């Protein structure tokens, strides 16, 4: 539920970006962000709807995670418009890191479920990578809203304004 709330918050942020979308580049970026957050909301809902008691639960979960990993990779390929770079920080770097975390989570969950026996350690590591990926997406959402993320994994580096003479 926490992830869904963050995603809904981000959708509101995207609406703010739409007001700035005067150029084709800004409009394309807005569309990519909107598509990502819609897809992610749907994927999280599908993941949460899987019945753990069903015979196909592991296959359903792995399939959903594969789709999420692809979605994150596509997200990481989005180009931040030059006009927005100074306002939203290193969103592209965070997106790359989120995609790497989701890819590793997906790989580890496959390892956990597809071996001879269920691998609890791999599943636990996968959960940690999944959580990090979602945290990074939340940080991106905050940056897109013009807010500064807070938390253990956040380091804020104050920028300096350049003056021209």
Q: What is the pLDDT of residue 155?
A: 57
Residue 61 neighbours by CB distance under 10 Å: 16
Averaged pLDDT of the chain? 80
Nearest Cα to 18, choosing from 8, 29, 28, 30?
Answer: 30
- Rounded to whole angstroms, the Cα distance separating 68 from 44 reads 9
Do the beta carbons of residue 17 and residue 144 sit within 8 Å? yes
Q: Could you give the C-alpha distances from 144 to 17, 28, 30, 110, 158, in angstroms and in order? A: 8, 15, 10, 32, 17
> Over the stretch 2-55, which tens digit does the pLDDT of each residue have?
554 454 445 454 444 444 445 788 888 888 888 999 999 999 999 999 999 999
Q: What percent of the chain has pLDDT over 90?
A: 47
Mean pLDDT of 96-117: 94
Q: What is the pLDDT of residue 146?
A: 76
Instruction: Report whether pLDDT(128) > 60.
Output: yes
Token output for 129: 């990578």
- Rounded to whole angstroms, the Cα distance separating 139 from 150 reads 8
Is the whole model's pTM more than 0.85, yes or no? Answer: no
Mean pLDDT of 44-67: 93
φ, ψ dihedrals at 64, nearest 5° = -65, -40
Q: What is the pLDDT of residue 78?
A: 83
Q: What is the pLDDT of residue 153?
A: 61
Q: What is the pLDDT of residue 80?
A: 80
Q: What is the pLDDT of residue 143?
A: 81
- Ordered by start, the domain boundaries in the chain are 2-144
- Report the helix count and the strand count for the chain, using DSSP H and E: 6, 0
């Amino acid at each position: 539920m926490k992830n869904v709330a963050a995603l809904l918050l981000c959708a509101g942020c995207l609406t703010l970006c739409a007001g700035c979308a005067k150029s084709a580049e800004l409009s394309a970026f807005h569309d990519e962000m909107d598509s990502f957050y819609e897809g992610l909301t749907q994927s999280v809902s599908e993941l949460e709807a899987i019945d753990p008691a069903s015979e196909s639960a592991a296959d359903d979960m792995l399939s959903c995670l594969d789709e999420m990993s692809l979605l994150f990779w596509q997200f990481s390929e989005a180009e931040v418009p030059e006009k927005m770079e100074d306002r939203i920080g290193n969103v592209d770097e965070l997106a790359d890191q989120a995609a790497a975390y989701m890819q590793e989570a997906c790989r580890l969950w496959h390892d956990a479920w597809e071996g001879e026996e269920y691998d609890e350690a791999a599943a636990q590591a996968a959960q940690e990578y999944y959580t990090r990926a979602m945290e990074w997406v939340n940080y991106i959402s905050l940056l897109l809203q013009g807010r500064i993320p807070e938390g253990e994994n956040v380091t804020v580096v104050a920028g300096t304004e350049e003056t021209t003479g």
